[in-house]
């Protein structure tokens, strides 16, 4: 009898180890597979698209993964995970939202006083956008909807519209809110992969991957990813690496579980790639928000993420939103400011500038964030200017002598900082005026079932 019991237990244990355990929900009946290139094909003969992972329909996810892992022609296989938007409930109990140490008015003055910079394209990979919103419409360019497989990324949850508003809502127009990049030459590319699923904002891993490739292939300079999940994905890392290889900065929210990401997985923010900036959420009191993930190695910077205002669906506005979802677009917007001022700056230089110019105050508690501080728009622009001057000074001397007027330095960056967005209107001509706005709220989870083409 004992031998029989041991045999049954052994069989059950063996079965339990024959199927992989997954920390994140996934779409049943689908797997993402990366096949190896045939040995007979030279690497150069394989197109970028042919080398990407694909979504395959299967009868049983777990058994298919086990079987495919045994095949010699398979590089890797994984579930088609469900991804979540990283907002929190809109009744988070914080008062006053004053972000003086982000120094946005100083940054806006700097840009107004500088020569017009290059155009910057930010891809917001999210739930789409309210395409007709009066505060966003003029900033939008053509995107795509992978959640519904069409060319109209209309937002049906509001999450993407709020993220877009933090980045690029029209400023100085006496209505609504103002986005960070209201006074630079910029455009927002909405790429939708999440949608409303029984009141939750959800999307699939396969749709997120396709969205990243689309954004890179259609000219994005910066990608904002205000979403995440808690399992490692090789195919998503491949997509983020593709963005890096093409010079695209990738801004990712750190997540809202209040966990240490050094010890627990959260992706895409945890990918150790040189183009990734992982963003935690801070409150107006200078603390890390209690819901925000952190990590001394894996989370790079903090940005406003509690009790913010932004654009909303149906041409409306929302006055109290919170989450790392809304901290990430702060960083994306400031990255766009920096990039706009220097045509030749690389994604790595933008990343280094943003992380190295944070505001550090003795009262702040950012001991578990790599940079030890919160983002500072004005100081980032000053650092970019210094980098630009250093690059000019180190350039080879011109072959012809130029006049003193030809070599005169271009304009400076305009007045100091003090103050950050809080209001939604701005006095024309007074750069330290409100231009308030921004960011945070509505929590969404995300299970959803859809197939990616």
- In angstroms, the CA 165 to CA 200 distance is 20
The answer to whether residue 342 is catalytic is no
The stretches of 275-373 forming alpha helices (DSSP H) are: 324-340, 347-356
Residue ranges with strand state E in 178-275: 186-192, 194-197, 200-204, 222-225, 227-228, 249-253
- In angstroms, the CA 96 to CA 106 distance is 21
The answer to whether residue 266 is catalytic is no
Contacts of 262 (CB under 8 A, 6+ apart): 295, 296, 297, 298
**Active-site position among 126, 135, 238, 312:** 126
Residues forming a β-bridge with 249 = 222
Per DSSP, 36 falls in state P
Looking at residue 343, what is its pLDDT? Answer: 78
**Active-site position among 127, 325, 340, 342:** 325
**Active-site position among 133, 135, 159, 221:** 159
3-state secondary structure 78-107: EEEEEEEECCECCCCCCCCCCCHHHCHHHH
Looking at residue 18, what is its pLDDT? Answer: 37
User: Helix, strand, coil proportions of the chain in percent (round to 5)?
Assistant: 25, 25, 50
Residues forming a β-bridge with 59 = none
CB–CB of 384/310 below 8 Å? no
The answer to whether residue 156 is catalytic is no
- Low-confidence residues of the chain: pLDDT under 70: 1-23, 39-47, 88-99, 116, 362-365, 388-453
Looking at residue 399, what is its pLDDT? Answer: 46
Structure tokens at 386: 């210094």
3-class secondary structure, 273 = coil
**Beta pairing, strands 144-145 & 249-253:** unpaired
Residue range 85-388, CATH number: 3.40.50.200
Q: How far is CA 150 from CA 127, 206, 277, 285, 447, in A?
A: 13, 16, 30, 43, 21
Looking at residue 394, what is its pLDDT? Answer: 59
Domain boundaries, the chain: 21-81, 85-388
Taking only the tens place, the pLDDT of each residue in 83-99 is: 989 876 554 433 344 56
């Amino acid at each position: 009898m004992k031998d029989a019991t041991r045999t049954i237990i052994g069989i059950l244990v063996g079965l339990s180890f024959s199927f992989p355990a997954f920390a994140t929900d996934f779409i049943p009946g689908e797997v993402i597979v990366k096949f190896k290139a045939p040995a007979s094909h030279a690497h150069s003969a394989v197109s970028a698209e042919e080398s990407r992972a694909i979504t395959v329909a299967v009868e049983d996810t777990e058994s298919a993964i086990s079987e495919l892992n045994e095949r010699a022609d398979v590089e890797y296989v994984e579930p088609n995970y469900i991804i979540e938007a990283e907002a929190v409930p809109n009744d988070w109990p914080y008062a006053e939202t004053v972000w003086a140490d982000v120094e946005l008015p100083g940054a806006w003055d700097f840009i107004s006083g500088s020569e017009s910079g290059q155009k910057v394209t930010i891809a917001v990979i999210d739930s789409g956008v309210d395409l007709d919103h009066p505060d966003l419409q003029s900033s939008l360019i053509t995107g795509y909807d992978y959640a519904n497989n069409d060319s109209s990324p209309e937002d049906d949850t509001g999450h993407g519209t709020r993220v877009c508003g933090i980045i690029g809502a029209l400023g100085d127009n006496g209505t609504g809110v103002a986005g960070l990049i209201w006074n630079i030459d910029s455009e927002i590319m909405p790429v939708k992969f999440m949608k409303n699923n029984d009141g939750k904002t959800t999307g699939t891993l396969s749709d997120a991957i396709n969205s990243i490739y689309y954004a890179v292939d259609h000219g994005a300079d910066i990608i904002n990813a205000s979403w995440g999940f808690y399992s490692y994905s090789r195919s998503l890392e491949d997509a983020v690496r593709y963005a890096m290889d093409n010079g695209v900065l990738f801004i990712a929210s750190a997540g809202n579980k209040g966990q240490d990401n050094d010890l627990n997985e959260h992706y895409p923010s945890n990918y150790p790639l040189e183009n990734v900036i992982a963003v935690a959420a801070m409150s107006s009191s200078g603390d890390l928000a209690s819901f925000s993930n952190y990590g001394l190695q894996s989370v790079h910077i903090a940005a406003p993420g509690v009790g913010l205002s932004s654009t909303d669906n149906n041409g409306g506005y929302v006055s109290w939103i919170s989450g790392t979802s809304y901290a990430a677009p702060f960083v994306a917007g400031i990255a766009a400011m920096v990039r706009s001022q220097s045509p030749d700056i690389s994604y790595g230089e933008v990343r280094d500038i943003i992380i190295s110019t944070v505001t550090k105050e003795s009262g702040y508690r950012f001991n578990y964030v790599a940079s030890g501080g919160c983002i500072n728009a004005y100081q980032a622009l000053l650092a970019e200017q210094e980098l630009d001057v250093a690059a000019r000074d180190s350039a080879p001397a011109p072959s012809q002598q130029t006049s003193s007027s030809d070599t005169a330095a271009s304009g400076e960056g305009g007045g100091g900082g003090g103050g950050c967005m809080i209001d939604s209107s701005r006095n024309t001509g007074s750069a330290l005026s409100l231009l308030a706005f921004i960011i945070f709220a509505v929590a969404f989870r995300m299970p959803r079932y859809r197939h990616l083409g």
